[in-house]
Structure 1
């Protein structure tokens, strides 16, 4: 599966390293705003032994259509910014290139644009694309359905300099019918990301907790998304859409 990567910050670099070490993907290029590192090889820059091209280009060098014409891919992985999708969106839609977006937050207009792209190709958007956090959300929704009378608290912890409430915490709260103001935040040191959902029963407590140890966790989620999105038709998907069939697997086998 040929892959292009949008964004090469700390998370983008971690995701690129996972893609380069995977046998299921072939990293064709990385696109970034800056001209720094332009035409450098990602494997060489990261010190990874790989024959994949993985060259770095700047957004000023090509239009989205020119980039995909010269260096075609099967899927675009987006860790850039909310506006990054406008660069490649129409070209991906025309060529039916799948899109996996891990942007933490989109405006209503950008979500509408994703839906526009999804009319012709496969689009997945997940504010937090780690497998663990999406498993946690599904499990929490199931538990709330089982015991709707429980008290629920959402706590998120991140590095000290992070100013806003995490997009993942907002998604967790929304999925459980909680207001954003109910989210408890902790800012300390260099915490990459911890999310916890506490269910307070009358006589017991259940804690569902996920911690990102390194940013490579996002790369594992990207691999899962890209592989399973490949099997779907055009449409706008979430990680939950791709993971839910696994929750039914046990019941099917037992039957």
Structure 2
């Protein structure tokens, strides 16, 4: 499977390194806004031992149509900026190129655009694409259904320069019907990202915690997303849509001790 990557910041570089080390995908190219590193080899720049010749290109060099015609891919992975989808979205959808985007702060208009494009291709949007955080959200929703009377607190921790409240924490709050204003935040050092959901029972406490140790965790999530999305029919998907079928592999009857 050939993939192209938009965005080559700290997270984009980590995702690229994971893609290069996986033999089931081929990183064809990386697009970034800056002209620096132009035409450099991605594996050479990252110091990754790989036979893939993926090159770094500036967005200014291409129109989306020319890029996808001359350097076709099966899927686009987006870790760039909110306006990236407006650059490549229509041309990718027309060519049935799958899209995996991890941008966290789309406007309502951009979300509407993504859902419109999903009528032509497969699009997955996940503001936090790590497998662990999405598993945590599903587990928290199940626990809330089991025990709706519990007190629930959301605590998020990030590096000291992150000013805004975590987009992932807001998504957790939305899924649990909790006011996002009640999210507790901690800013310290170089914490990549830690999210905790605390369930306060009358006589016990349950803590569901996810911690990103390095940004390569996003690369693992991307691999799961793109390999599970590529054969799906056209539509708008979330990580929950891709994870839930794995839960259905468990037969409830097998839990019976007879």
TM over 0.5: yes
The residue aligned with 2:81 is 81
Aligned residues between the structures: 255
Q: Secondary structure at the residue paired with 2:148?
A: coil
CA distance, structure 2, for counterparts of residue 247 and residue 140 of structure 1: 14
2:61 partner SS? coil
2:51 — aligned with what? 51
Moved over 6 A (4+): none
TM-score, normalization by structure 2: 0.97
Once the two structures are superposed, residues 32-89 of structure 1 have per-residue CA deviations (whole angstroms, 9 ceiling, x without a partner) of 0000000000000011111112100111101011101110000000000110011110
Please name the residue that 1:234 is paired with. Answer: 234
Whole-angstrom distance in 2 between the partners of 1:206 and 1:135? 16
Match of 2:151 in 1: 151
Whole-Å separation in 2 of the counterparts to 1:210 and 1:169 = 11
Distance 1:109 1:253 in 2: 45
Q: Secondary structure of 1:40's partner?
A: coil
CA drift at 1:252: 6.6
Deviation at 1:116, TM superposition (A): 1.1
**TM-score w.r.t. structure 1 length?**
0.98
* C-alpha displacement of 1:230: 1.1
RMSD over equivalenced CA pairs, Å: 1.0
Counterpart residue number, 1:136: 136
Gaps of at least 5 residues in structure 2 are none
Written as runs of structure 1 = structure 2, the 5 A alignment for 1:35-50 is 35-50=35-50
Output the CA distance in 1 between the equivalents of 2:125 and 2:53. Answer: 26
Q: Give the Å deviation of 1:253.
A: 8.2
2-structure distance, mates of 1:231, 1:174: 29
1:143 Cα offset (Å)? 0.3
Equivalences for 1:1-255 in 2 at 5 Å? 1-251=1-251, 254=254
| SS of 1:220 mapped into structure 2 | helix
Task: Measure, in 2, the Cα distance between the counterparts of 1:82 and 1:46.
Answer: 25
Between 16-25 and 242-251, report the one with greater CA deviation.
Answer: 242-251
CA distance in 2, matches of 1:189, 1:131: 24
